[in-house]
Structure 1
Amino acid sequence: MVVSTFLALVLAGFAAAKTCTNFTIPVDISSRQGVFRKVPLDVNLDASAFMLEFTNIGQNYTAVLLQDYQTLKGSYKISAKFCHPDGGIKGSVVQVLTHGIGFDKTYWDLSFNNYNYSYVEVAVREGYSTLAIDRLGIGNSSHGDPFNVIQARAEVEALNVITTKLRNGQIPEIKHSFDKVVHVGHSFGSVQSYWLSSLYPNNTDGLILTGWSANGSWLPATIAGFNLHIARLNQPLRLGNTLSQAARRTFRPWSSGGELIRGVQFLLRSIKVSLSTKDIWNELGTTEVANLITGYNQTDIPLNYPPGYLTWSDFTANVGAFLLPGHYDIALGLVAESTKQPVTAGELLTIGSSPPSSSFSGPVLVVTGRQDTIFCGGDCLATGTDAASIPAEAAVLFPDASAFEAYIHPDTAHGINVHYNASAAYEVIQSWLGAHDLGA
């Protein structure tokens, strides 16, 4: 079975507990950010060169490329999915969901296995409304120059505008104002939610920071493990500008019953090479071959990312960064690989530029998987200090918080929502919100 077999699974199933609407939100932003010298990022060897410079322990590549600062002003569109209980918007609290690198807004409402992995499903069941966004530059939101437009600060400014519109009832598709906005992030989305709480502490009422800690020591190892590729070359049918309809017509008949595997076996035998079905599946399902034939995306058209948008190489790199072997469904992991989203050079160069602390005075909950490699090096309890966990050390960033707690979720790596016990983490979050005056 190959990746294309699993693409149908992401579309399967339905849930009747919620009503959802997809739309775009116009945002006008003003963002103070860096002007970087652009280096070649046209082919995969360029991506490798960028990775080597970025991870070089002897230099700060952000400082090397930084030439100046500018105030970026522009009008953009943010793709969003708003969900509420079937009976209508029931409360005055909305959760704004911001995904991390490699994902888009579907991270929060995975349809796999009849929505059993959906964060939105659990939140809506508790009476919350949710707004999940594609971050500026990613997915179906506006794309832009990958060095000097799509940077972390610009995305934070877009998030702030959306938050203000939610409070003021200025999103026509929702037609409702919310008294309280809880920001729920994952990974880079948590970085941005924290950043918003520092720049605009009065524009959030609660922070849920998942897949996060204040320790960025393992970022270089993460980027090295990605084995970076140019996104449009890694998945040309989906992330590039190649029409995907012809590819789907070609590969769909092969995706059931092992036809593709048998076809490859026949080809290899004709040149006197014999590989087992298992070996061929591993080649087709877990390597770059799978990405080459992946053509599905939600809009059914190529996303057409320009050079400078990067992604990890294949499913094995995905596992190394995000997943804990034995504790996730490989079928869902392959779906995550076939629907992955890229990261820009500008995001990587600015991800560590968030403010050193936040004056936010509301409650903060950090939820991180015990075996998170990106923010804990593989074990969030291996602090080497008196701290209860590596994420718990982030308490110093929130000196004015009314409450701070770090919860370590067992049997889980970085991509919490893709693990078997994801829903248990969701229940912890909803219960915690209710206990801190942020119930639906």
Structure 2
Amino acid sequence: MAPSKALISLALFGITTARQCSNLTIPVTISSRQGQFREVPVEDNLDVGAFATRFNQFQKNYTADLLEAYQTLDGTYQISAQYCMPDGGSNGIVQLLSHGIGFDKTYWDLSYNNYNYSYVNVALAAGYSTLAIDRLGIGNSSHGDPFNEIQAQAEVEALNSVTLQLRKGEIQEIGCSYDRVIHVGHSFGSVQSYWLSALYPENTDGVILTGFSLASQFLAYIVAGWNLQSARLNQPLRFGNASNDVVRTLTKKSNLDDNLIRSLQQILGGLGIDLTPQEVWNEVATTEVLDLINGYNTSVISYDYPAGYLASSNLIALQYAFLQPGNYDIGLAVQGEKSKQPVTTGELLTIGNAPSSSPFTGPVLVITGEHDVPFCGGNCYGQVSGTNYSNIPENVAMAFPSAAAFTSYIQPNTGHGINFHYNATAAYQVIQDFLASHDLSAH
């Protein structure tokens, strides 16, 4: 039986608590040396499926197959961000938060259940300011060509530009400079935070990598498990292809409000079809029908993503990739499906290009869920062959030979998307305690 709170969660965002937070846009100018790829068809879902199949071929390198040359990408872009400051004001230290694939900046400040899952709130309570960004190419930040513009390298350069502007006090809406910047990432955001520490070690004071390891062999698990589709077709109006007049008309005539299950039950009842809320839930919320309906929800932003932006298929794919069954609120998962974000073909083709090690000399924490699929294959206590490390996250120490302190921590009963689990705030506290114990306290 789907928990009753799952139905409550279908309402959009709750009431925002009184906090010193504001949304802003940060211009960044970047120069990024990156790949020039041969573009292949990714317009419809059969094309996307073929892309994923070729990407996952055993002992094949699809990135190399499509790489034609290298280019230098020069451009000015806009980075959407949420800035929050503790009640006591700025104290010269800020956490710069980078989300992973499938999410946007709201991953760090989930409004569900009156912000009880908010990482930002915990960091603010510990005295830190926070700046959570939509990564370049995603959410309300600038979009671009999904093959040859929105690649990992360009996103790292954008992250570094934001970092430098924080340090120099050049972000007008913030109005102050920050002597110390801590980079906190999740998943692909962790890859980019690590990457920044390798290229620009002097620009970060602490590195927190959540949902991360050095194990690359599990990427194929996720690309397969996502059952990728064209984002424009998966959630058409929201992601930018509102061409299906049949679905649009049915949705408009159905008069669906945010309490999706109840509305559908009433509609079906009017047609003489008597279904329980559980039966409606099974047919709608756990299938791609939910995404068809979400795709015509006019109360959310239309992102207008071009072909080449790919999205996971449905709620079940989201659970496989990010959530440990039994240890998360299904209502929050549904909200995550309704607010999910895509991945570009260029990101997938370049996610593995990060430097092999970082010269960073500050403190590093890796915190990964026990059952993380993308970076641990579902078992972070697994052994890394050819090393003396006892588990997979511990192996990240190899990439930080000069770190002043390195700690790896496995969050129990948790999947990849740590912030979506019942025990998320316990993980948040591990992070704040680590920072405080390594001269990065905000008090």
Matches within 5 A, 1:5-20: 6-8=9-11, 10-16=12-18, 18-20=19-21
Could you tell me how far apart the structure 1 residues matched to 2:216 and 2:255 are?
Answer: 41
Equivalent residue for 2:259?
A: 255
Could you tell me how far apart the structure 1 residues matched to 2:350 and 2:272 are?
Answer: 47
Distance 1:142 1:7, change over 3 A: farther
The SS at the match of 1:252 is coil
Could you tell me how far apart the structure 1 residues matched to 2:242 and 2:6 are?
Answer: 19
Could you tell me how far apart the structure 1 residues matched to 2:423 and 2:252 are?
Answer: 33
Could you tell me how far apart the structure 2 residues matched to 1:25 and 1:61 are?
Answer: 34
Q: Is 1:65 aligned to 2:69, yes or no?
A: no
Could you tell me how far apart the structure 2 residues matched to 1:132 and 1:384 are?
Answer: 33
Shift, 1:7, TM fit: 4.0
Shift, 1:340, TM fit: 0.1
Equivalent residue for 1:234?
A: 234
Distance 1:416 1:268, change over 3 A: farther
Could you tell me how far apart the structure 1 residues matched to 2:305 and 2:6 are?
Answer: 22
Equivalent residue for 2:139?
A: 139
Shift, 1:283, TM fit: 1.7
Q: Is 1:427 aligned to 2:434, yes or no?
A: no
CA RMSD of aligned residues (A): 2.3
Cα contact 2:213–2:393 (8 A) shared by 1: yes
Could you tell me how far apart the structure 2 residues matched to 1:5 and 1:69 are?
Answer: 50
Could you tell me how far apart the structure 2 residues matched to 1:414 and 1:318 are?
Answer: 10
Could you tell me how far apart the structure 2 residues matched to 1:287 and 1:154 are?
Answer: 35
Could you tell me how far apart the structure 2 residues matched to 1:239 and 1:142 are?
Answer: 14
Task: Give the letter aligned to residue 396 of structure 1.
Answer: M
Deviates more, 1:385-394 or 1:196-205: 385-394
Distance 1:392 1:114, change over 3 A: same
Cα contact 1:218–1:376 (8 A) shared by 2: yes
Equivalent residue for 1:210?
A: 210
Matches within 5 A, 1:147-158: 147-158=147-158
Equivalent residue for 2:371?
A: 371
Could you tell me how far apart the structure 1 residues matched to 2:364 and 2:358 are?
Answer: 11
Equivalent residue for 2:85?
A: 84
The SS at the match of 1:373 is coil
Cα contact 1:242–1:302 (8 A) shared by 2: no
What is the aligned residue count? Answer: 433
Distance 1:133 1:257, change over 3 A: closer
TM-score, L = length of structure 1: 0.93
Equivalent residue for 2:395?
A: 393
1:111-155, Cα deviation, whole Å (9 max, x unpaired): 111111000000001110000000000000000000000000000
1:81-103, Cα deviation, whole Å (9 max, x unpaired): 000113422x1110000000000
Distance 1:87 1:298, change over 3 A: farther
Equivalent residue for 1:197?
A: 197
1:321-340, Cα deviation, whole Å (9 max, x unpaired): 10011100000000001100
Could you tell me how far apart the structure 1 residues matched to 2:327 and 2:130 are?
Answer: 27
The SS at the match of 2:328 is coil
Task: Give the letter aligned to residue 401 of structure 1.
Answer: A
Equivalent residue for 1:281?
A: 281
Shift, 1:253, TM fit: 4.0
Could you tell me how far apart the structure 1 residues matched to 2:293 and 2:7 are?
Answer: 8
Cα contact 1:51–1:223 (8 A) shared by 2: yes
Distance 1:229 1:329, change over 3 A: same
Equivalent residue for 1:32?
A: 33
Could you tell me how far apart the structure 2 residues matched to 1:355 and 1:323 are?
Answer: 29
Could you tell me how far apart the structure 2 residues matched to 1:348 and 1:191 are?
Answer: 12
1:343-393, Cα deviation, whole Å (9 max, x unpaired): 000000000000111001111000000110110011101216642320100
Deviates more, 1:319-328 or 1:288-297: 288-297
Cα contact 1:237–1:293 (8 A) shared by 2: no
